[in-house]
Amino acid sequence: MQRVRRTKRIRIVGAIILLLAVVADFVPIQAQAGFIQAYLRLDRMKINTASGGLVCARASLAGPTEAKVIVTFPSTYTLNTTAANWVMTTTNLPSGATAWPGVVSGTTTASAVDNTLKTATFPSNDLPNNTTLYCFNFAAASTLTTAAAAANSQQASIQTQTSANAVIDLTQIALANATDDTILVTAVVPPSFIFTMSGYADPFASNLDPLAVVNTSGIMVDVVTNAKGGWIAWARSQYAGLYSATAGYTIPTVGTINGAVSNLTAGNEGYVMDVDLTADAASGCTVNIDNEYDGSTATEGGTLSTSYQPLAECTGTSPATANHDQFTLTERAAISGATPASSDYTDNITVVGAGNFLDYEVVRFGSEMGVCQFKCGHDCGQFELAGDGICG
Amino acid sequence: MIAGNLSWPATVYAVDAEESAPLVLQTSPLPINLQVDPGKSVTTELKVKQSGTEKARLKVGLMKFTAYGEEGKPELKDREAGDDYFDWVKFDKTEFDAPINVWQTVKMTITVPKSAAFGYYYAVTFSRVGDDVKRTDRTNSIAGATATLVLLEAVNPNAKRELQLDSFGSKHRVYEFLPAEFDIKLKNVGNVHAVPSGDVFILQGNKQLAALPINGGFGNILPDSNRIFPAKWSDGFPHWEPVIADGKTKLDKNGKIVKKLVWDWGKLSSIRIGRYTAHLFAVYDDGKRDIPIETEITFWVIPWRFLLVVLVILALVALGVYGMVREASINWLASAANQGHCAAGGGND
């Protein structure tokens, strides 16, 4: 009888335990929630480096009233415990983010910092909704120093609490540090010479006429170079005149290469090339048209030669660079009444441009060192090399 | 046209401007310096890019360059008799397609014989195929080309690097306002190219006012040639400057640079009056040590119009003061005379 009762009791207790176990799953409990979104972006990832940071979070619920936000840094970080250094700002926040409630930018500071617990506690007002991302920055000066060694996945967290220290939202985050967080950007500007000609065909504007000096429409040359010594351009003519294969005749160039322009007169055969300065780019070198070709009237120009003759050059104190120096080539011709008629008078002119012959590598140091050796009696120091030549 | 040939005046015809695509050539690097032992080879890369409006075919040419004349003007020349060193040069390609804005590399290999010595100066030209063909439409062909200058030195113990100062001059003996401009003319009397460097120091008495670098670009002087290096001292109040408009130096109708007098009152302390000394100190490396070149000239800066205006103003002030004093004296004398007269008259009364 007693045995029956004990068995019955055991069955009842077992049934109750089973019932409680089933029901327990449906009993609501109060638990810590995570933010819908939360992150900590440090200003520097480099190890052992002072850093500020950006704290952003979006509350999970609109209900509880936040009173503080606590950031827990990895144990490898060092926190300056002077709370007043941890100045909060709300400038330069990410697009779409809103200033953290209760933060007066540049004035509000952390309320407590604990280097043992690795926590920085910041004041907060209630986050009024769970649809907005709230952010604030904390200063870098005398606040946080990153880990001494490079590491990934260092545990940290962001949490909000009520004024009664009840956790509202808590999200674990991971931070990483690297030996360096900067990228050195270097670029090379290679020496270069850009030579542009507006075309390769230069027709005479009208028929040659014994009553006038006729010009070609002109070809413009544009020079861009970072050559420190400027540039130079030469030209040569295939025929030193206007040649007609049909007529078997050449309208010859006039004058001689003597550094002075030649003048054409209507009715007297002649052929010259004029070079006009169209643009001398500001700064850099100064363009000089060779006197031979620097005509100043519509009938003047220089004698054409079958060998290369300098047309123009750009010189000056270094760096004598050029940024779109321009000059225009115009051929002029005059004929007499006896010049054989033909439709194929023409000339081939070749224009060559080059950066002035400089050496970017030779004995630069040796030469400047020499200045100091002889002028100052000792080798140049670094600053003397870069300076104004005055002995140090 | 035939009728034209038969008519008078004997007209030579022209036609409308033909479509001719612009030529845009970019080369890099700029002058290349090579040193090689005789009997060995050296290879360098030349880069060229054409940025015209359509694909082009480029060709490579080889010329030589030197310097000539008192001013050492660079001269570009074709191969001449005896220029065997042209045969030392080989290019990996002499003609090639050049798409727009694509760098093309041409390898230049120079195989130097054992008998070579000292300096050889090449100009490698790039030009567009077809630009230099003879036209039949009474139109001139203007073929453009860029030249990359290659300075080759066949190393030889007998190489002689020696520069001599040919002249050191100032553009003017007397300047009204700065800039003062100087030309340093050096002559290479050696057998390889050499590079001078240094400064022109501007002094007034013993006080150094400026150091003007010369040949800051480290330009070469070719053997048996001159080269002129300019130096300019502009640090004065006031001073002349080119007029800049739209990023370009303004030119007058004759293509000459238009200048303006700049009165930068912040540089009032840099007013220049008096006698100055320009002291040239240059050096070059002769392969063993730095060799100095030193000389000096004097020049004057006299802002005579400025001084004249000041003198006129001072003279006017002095005249004014003199007039006022004189008038005051006359008045005083007259007043004194009147008082005396009155006093005398009163006495008589």
Structure tokens at A74: 């990895």
Residues spanned by the domain of A372 = 360-387
Tell whether A42 and A132 lie within a shared domain: yes
Looking at residue B192, its pLDDT comes to 87
- pLDDT tier at B17, thresholds 50, 70, 90: very low
Q: Which helix (H) or strand (E) holds A7?
A: helix A2-24
CB-defined contacts A:B, below 8 A: 328
| For A316, nearest residue in chain B (alpha carbons) | B230
With respect to residue A31, please indicate whether it lies within any of the assigned structural domains: no
Strand-pair partners of B178:
B239
Looking at residue A8, its pLDDT comes to 72
From first to last of its 392 residues, chain A has per-residue pLDDT tens of 556 567 777 777 766 766 555 544 444 444 467 899 999 999 999 999 999 999 999 998 877 899 999 999 999 999 999 999 999 999 999 999 999 999 999 999 999 999 999 999 999 999 999 899 999 999 999 999 999 999 999 999 999 999 999 999 999 999 999 999 888 888 877 788 999 999 889 999 899 999 999 999 999 999 999 887 789 999 999 999 999 989 999 999 999 999 999 999 999 999 999 999 998 888 788 898 999 999 989 999 999 999 999 999 888 777 888 889 999 999 999 999 999 999 889 999 999 999 875 443 332 223 333 333 333 333 333 333 333 333 33
Residue B303 to chain A, least CA–CA distance (Å) = 25
Looking at residue A270, its pLDDT comes to 96
With respect to residue A90, please indicate whether it lies within any of the assigned structural domains: yes
Q: Which A positions 171-210 lie with beta carbon below 8 A of chain B?
A: 190-210
From chain A, the residues in CB contact with B145 under 8 A are 195, 350-353
Tell whether A268 and A368 lie within a shared domain: no
**Radius of gyration over alpha carbons of chain A, in Å?**
43
Looking at residue A301, its pLDDT comes to 96
Tell whether A322 and A256 lie within a shared domain: yes
Interface contact A353-B145, CB threshold 8 A: yes
Residue B22 to chain A, least CA–CA distance (Å) = 4
Give A66's contacts (C-beta < 8 A, 6+ positions apart): A59, A101, A124, A125, A126, A127, A160, A161, A162, A168
pTM, two decimal places: 0.65
Tell whether A244 and A270 lie within a shared domain: yes
Q: Are strands B104-111 and B89-91 parallel, antiparallel or unpaired?
A: antiparallel
With respect to residue A18, please indicate whether it lies within any of the assigned structural domains: no
End-to-end Cα spacing for chain A: 118
Looking at chain B, list the stretches that DSSP marks H as alpha helix, in order from N- to C-terminal side: 2-6, 304-348
Tell whether A124 and A63 lie within a shared domain: yes
Looking at residue A357, its pLDDT comes to 57
Residue B322 to chain A, least CA–CA distance (Å) = 51
Interface contact A196-B196, CB threshold 8 A: no
**Rounded to whole angstroms, what are the CA distances from A11 to A5, A20, A21?**
10, 14, 15
B69 touches chain A (CB under 8 A): no
Tell whether A260 and A375 lie within a shared domain: no
- Of A127, A157, A177, the residue that ends a domain is A177
A294 touches chain B (CB under 8 A): yes
Q: Which A positions 310-369 lie with beta carbon below 8 A of chain B?
A: 310, 313, 315-320, 323-324, 329, 331, 333, 335, 337-364, 366-369
Total of domains in chain A: 3
Residue B37 to chain A, least CA–CA distance (Å) = 17
| Closest by Cα among B139, B143, B13 to A217 | B139
Give B327's contacts (C-beta < 8 A, 6+ positions apart): none
d(CA A354, CA A231): 6
**Radius of gyration over alpha carbons of chain B, in Å?**
34
- The full DSSP string for B203-267 is EETTEEEEEEEESTT-B-B-TTEEEEEEEEE---BSEEEE-EETTEE-B-TTSPBPEEEE--GGG
Structure tokens at B226: 């001159």
In the predicted model, is pLDDT for residue B69 greater than 80? no
Q: Which A positions 228-257 lie with beta carbon below 8 A of chain B?
A: 228-229, 232, 234, 238, 242, 245, 251
Looking at residue B3, its pLDDT comes to 33
Mean residue pLDDT of chain B comes to: 86
- pLDDT tier at B348, thresholds 50, 70, 90: very low
Structure tokens at A253: 């160039």
Three-class secondary structure of residue A319 per DSSP: coil
Tell whether A294 and A319 lie within a shared domain: yes
From chain A, the residues in CB contact with B281 under 8 A are 371, 374-375
What are A57-74's pLDDT values in tens digits?
999 887 789 999 999 999
Residue A337 to chain B, least CA–CA distance (Å) = 6
With respect to residue A1, please indicate whether it lies within any of the assigned structural domains: no
Three-class secondary structure of residue A58 per DSSP: strand
Looking at residue A28, its pLDDT comes to 40
| Test the A interface: residue of B45, B218, B227, B293 with most A CBs within 10 Å | B218
Tell whether A351 and A366 lie within a shared domain: no
Tell whether A136 and A221 lie within a shared domain: no
Looking at residue B138, its pLDDT comes to 73
Residue A323 to chain B, least CA–CA distance (Å) = 9
From chain B, the residues in CB contact with A251 under 8 A are 12
- Of A177, A201, A229, the residue that ends a domain is A177
With respect to residue A11, please indicate whether it lies within any of the assigned structural domains: no
Q: Which candidate from A199, A229, A367 shows the least CB-CB separation from B197? A: A367
AA letter at A240: A
Q: Which candidate from B12, B132, B285 shows the least CB-CB separation from A348? A: B132
- pLDDT tier at B177, thresholds 50, 70, 90: very high
Looking at residue A19, its pLDDT comes to 59
Q: Which B positions 127-146 lie with beta carbon below 8 A of chain A?
A: 127-128, 131-146
Looking at residue B254, its pLDDT comes to 76
Q: What percent of chain B has pLDDT over 70?
A: 91
Interface contact A346-B4, CB threshold 8 A: no
Tell whether A268 and A135 lie within a shared domain: no
Tell whether A222 and A315 lie within a shared domain: yes
- Of A161, A177, A193, the residue that ends a domain is A177
Residue B125 CB burial class (10 angstroms; 0-12, 13-18, ≥19): buried
Interface contact A342-B16, CB threshold 8 A: no
Residue that wins the pLDDT comparison between B335 and A103: A103
In the predicted model, is pLDDT for residue B13 greater than 70? no
Interface contact A281-B248, CB threshold 8 A: yes
Point out the least confidently predicted range of A79-88, A259-268, B27-36, B56-65: B27-36
A276 touches chain B (CB under 8 A): yes
Q: Which B positions 79-118 lie with beta carbon below 8 A of chain A?
A: none
Alpha carbon A222 to its chain centroid, in Å, reads 26
With respect to residue A24, please indicate whether it lies within any of the assigned structural domains: no
With respect to residue A341, please indicate whether it lies within any of the assigned structural domains: yes
With respect to residue A113, please indicate whether it lies within any of the assigned structural domains: yes
| Test the B interface: residue of A192, A197, A220, A372 with most B CBs within 10 Å | A197
Residue B106 to chain A, least CA–CA distance (Å) = 15
d(CA A43, CA A52): 5
- pLDDT tier at B50, thresholds 50, 70, 90: very high
| For A228, nearest residue in chain B (alpha carbons) | B217
| For B220, nearest residue in chain A (alpha carbons) | A358
AA letter at A252: P
Tell whether A280 and A335 lie within a shared domain: yes
Looking at residue A63, its pLDDT comes to 73
HSE value, Cβ hemisphere, 13 Å, CA-based, for B71: 10
The CATH number of whichever domain residue A109 belongs to comes to 2.60.40
From chain A, the residues in CB contact with B137 under 8 A are 203, 343-344, 346
Q: Which A positions 22-51 lie with beta carbon below 8 A of chain B?
A: none
